[in-house]
Amino acid sequence: MNRDILKLAIPFVISNISVPILGMVDLALLGHLDTPEPEDYIGAIALGGMIFNIIYWGFSFLRMGTSGFTAQAFGRRDQKEIILIFSRAMLVAVLGSLLLILLQNPLDFLSFWIMDGSPEVEVLASEYFHIRIFAAPATISLYAFTGWFLGIQNARYPMIITIVINILNLGFNVLFIYGFGMKHDGVALGTVLAQYSGLLMSFFFFHRKYKHYLAYWEYRAMVHWDAIRQFFTVNRDIFIRTLLLIFTFSFFTNESASMGDATLAVNTILLQYLFVFSYFIDGFANAAEALVGKFVGAGNPGLLKKSIRRLFVWGVSISVPFSLLYFMAGENLLYLLTNEENVIQRAMPFLFWIAMVPIVTFAAFIWDGVFIGATATAPMRNTLIIATLVIFLPSYYIFRDHLGNHGLWLAMMLFMLTRGIMLALLSKKYVLSTAD
């Protein structure tokens, strides 16, 4: 079982970890610019990135729902349903992304009406948005590809695709910033070009190894009402759950901005270390999606329970060293992202929260993968409703006046802890019983 977990987890760890590393490199490139206000460019990427978190996280149900359904079909050896799930996901990806491009001006207006950044930062972030929005068809289609590859137990292709995307993205960013003298706009353009390169690679890999599935495709079966309804019911729950995650992190960033550009820059940098760990542990959550889905589809409760136990052993084994690393090397890690002493000194009092992140959050990530593999999405949705509306928001408003930015970080930790505890309590009813 450990071999099966690592076979799926390691490629996703490698590919996942490259995403926040790229974000950190982008921040480092902008944070070391020889300009009077490098904080404005860091803030622009933070606010612009928050918009795309809202947009793309909103469509991440395609990856999660596709992986769960595909893994269960794979466990049943239902080749027809495997290709039908993929085609439904791609149809949603194409239509949804084209709608985003058409609505980019209203989205821009609404985003900056809600967010609270300085006028200088908002102007730069808007320019970043109107360039990067044209990557939407590629980015959202890649969600469908990644979920489908994972569902058929292939973690190697998403790893290769993600690594190539991020290498190209880094290369484009360096070229545009240092070669052509661009700034935030160069970061946005580099992302667009890299995403379309990744989409072309995905089609190449599909045609190379999986084109035989096309023989099982039927239009009428793809649009069969019962299958469509089940697809959207599961994805509706994931979508609501994702919106709540988006809201929480967007609220976190927006409240950071309301405390001033310096606090926004500090929290943006500190969040990168949360994202580094989350993408790392998400490799094991991705393995959970594939293995749990396969064992649920195959009706094998023994292997289902065994896989969950082993996944949590790996979760503990990873989170403890990460916490120790963040605790002992926190200050040195800050210098990787910026040489601005003002930002570093402001960040120092908050390093304690970063050291707490791995231990507090790992259970929530792994349980998410388990529930997605079992397509038990309603309890995931309900857990996020409680964690957001009952725990996160009240905690922040209770502690804000006395603790300031510490209150914001405390609310985030309580939010993550609640998710892990509630999903653990619900797992017997909604996951372990599904393979019986």
What is the pLDDT, as a whole number, of residue 228? 78
Which spans in 59-132 are helix H?
A: 61-76, 79-102, 104-114, 119-132
What is the pLDDT, as a whole number, of residue 253? 85
CA distance linking residue 126 with residue 117, whole number of Å: 11
The residue ranking higher by pLDDT, 397 or 265, is 397
Segment 408-434 shows an average pLDDT of: 93
Span of 153-162, 251-260, 327-336, 352-361 with lowest mean pLDDT = 327-336
What is the pLDDT, as a whole number, of residue 35? 57
Token readout for 377 is: 């999405």
DSSP assignment string, 160-227: HHHHHHHHHHHHHHHIIIIIS---HHHHHHHHHHHHHHHHHHHHHHHHHHSGGGGGG--HHHHT-HHH
Question: Quick check: helix, strand or coil at residue 36?
Answer: coil
The residue ranking higher by pLDDT, 38 or 197, is 197
Residue 317 in this model has a pLDDT that exceeds 80? yes
- Each residue of 149-197: pLDDT tens digit? 999 999 999 999 988 998 898 899 889 888 887 777 888 898 899 999 9
For 131: left if phi > 0, alpha if psi spans -120 to 50, otherwise beta; the answer is alpha
What is the pLDDT, as a whole number, of residue 182? 79
pTM for the whole structure? 0.80
**Angle between helices 261-298 and 351-373 in degrees, nearest 10:** 30
Segment 231-246 shows an average pLDDT of: 85
What is the pLDDT, as a whole number, of residue 100? 93
- Each residue of 50-105: pLDDT tens digit? 788 778 877 888 888 899 999 999 998 899 999 999 999 999 899 999 999 999 99
Span of 74-83, 122-131, 336-345 with lowest mean pLDDT = 336-345
What is the pLDDT, as a whole number, of residue 128? 85
What is the pLDDT, as a whole number, of residue 4? 86
